[in-house]
Amino acid sequence: MTKLNLANKKIVVVGMGLTGLSCVRFLKAKGAKVTAMDSRSELALKLDVPLFLGPFDGNRLNKADLIVLSPGIDLHLPVIQNAIQSGVQVIGDIELFAQFNETPVIAITGSNGKSTVTHLVVEMCKAAGKKVLMGGNIGIPVLDLLEKPADIIVLEISSFQLETTYSLAPLAATVLNISEDHLDRHGDLEAYQIIKLSIYQHAKNIVCNRDDILSYPINSKPALTFGTSNSSNGFSWDKQHNRILLNQLAYLDAQSCLLVGDHNMLNIQAAAALAKVTGIEDEYIKRGAREFGGLPHRCQTVSLVKDIRWINDSKATNVGATLAAIKGLMSDVKGKLILIAGGEGKGADFTPLNECIGESVDVLITLGKDGKQISSAKSASYSVTSIQQAVQQAAKLADSGDTVLLSPACASLDMFVSYQQRGDCFANAVKELVK
């Protein structure tokens, strides 16, 4: 691959979050003439490049040789589109990484489960003795990985990052699933799907979910598939015997894994398929799957007191994630399932939740900007104004054997700084119950 010639190029980096700052460092080291921009009016940063705050300077952008756009900045902003029409190339940090990286990459995207699958793949590679690095939309910005020695790099990649990526050639790539998310930025589900599927474009091995037609490659054949459906070729889920199969043969018992729920069995399948097509042996794939205990805010049990299980799934920021959590946990719920949901819906359609909540949720507690839209799914519902009130209401209703699930189906920014803060508030409120 011909690497970008960055020396002495006039390059504008737009957005000074962690990703943008990593881009500035990288470009400076390559000899580029870097300018930084951020829409905020104040920024406590000391940079050794010119920094322009406030509304983006269209004249300066139009005169750039290259624009490097942080994933949090909308590619469709008029000032960015005007620059593109003026002939300026716009890329992101993943594309910069792809231009200079020489280490094999496993690339993971999807609406839900990306972080869990990314961590699982890392654990499987570590079990095999591989020097593995992880980054992208999780952990370390990708450009900071380039100078570090590794046998393999595992990347979680968002749709915002894929929008400005053109030449990434992963050793293995997957789109785990596709459901409505970020439609306030991408416009509609079809546009979002096209962006997600672009991860397959130059991939050597494609791994896909055979049960999700939206995530299936259009013009390529998968190297391996996974899913809940039975298959003679690929990973599948034997619910009757609670085990994962490979080519219809027993592969891994769910009871031996720390992760719980049907959705996590699907995550394990996806990670195993990615590891397998990249040459990791089954022994190490299984070891990694057995030893990984899950991530905070992703169907994480935060308390089990008086035989009431409290689960923090604050990372469920869209409808698909909440559907997966409810369906995945049903086999583990002994009593009532009490769901806490609501927040900033980002323009999503909540009607797919109605049937699932109606059939599987016993009590619904809603909060946040769009909580009322969700509450219509259940006559036995309660509206509250805070996480603390939601926990207190759930505690009044919960009995031994019940499960209380925080799985909002919404973003958190109407009430919290992040989904992490929302999940921490939930966990702290639960801890207050048992003091």
- What residues are labeled active site? 114, 137, 182
Radius of gyration of the chain (CA): 22
Write out the H or E segment, with its range, that includes residue 305: strand 300-305
Burial level of 392, CB count in 10 A (0-12/13-18/19+)?
middle
* DSSP code per residue over 92-153: -HHHHHHHH--S-EEEEE-SSSHHHHHHHHHHHHHHTT--EEEEESSSB-GGGGTTS--SEE
The pair of three-digit structure tokens given for residue 428, joined into one six-digit string: 């702290």
d(CA 203, CA 37): 33
318, 179 contact by CB (below 8 A): yes
The pair of three-digit structure tokens given for residue 297, joined into one six-digit string: 């805010």
Write out the H or E segment, with its range, that includes residue 33: strand 33-38
Q: How far is CA 286 from CA 119, 253, 293, 320, in A?
A: 14, 10, 13, 27
The pair of three-digit structure tokens given for residue 386, joined into one six-digit string: 């805070």
d(CA 253, CA 204): 30
Phi/psi-derived region of residue 434, left when phi > 0, alpha when psi is between -120 and 50, beta in every other case: alpha
d(CA 422, CA 121): 27
d(CA 308, CA 31): 59
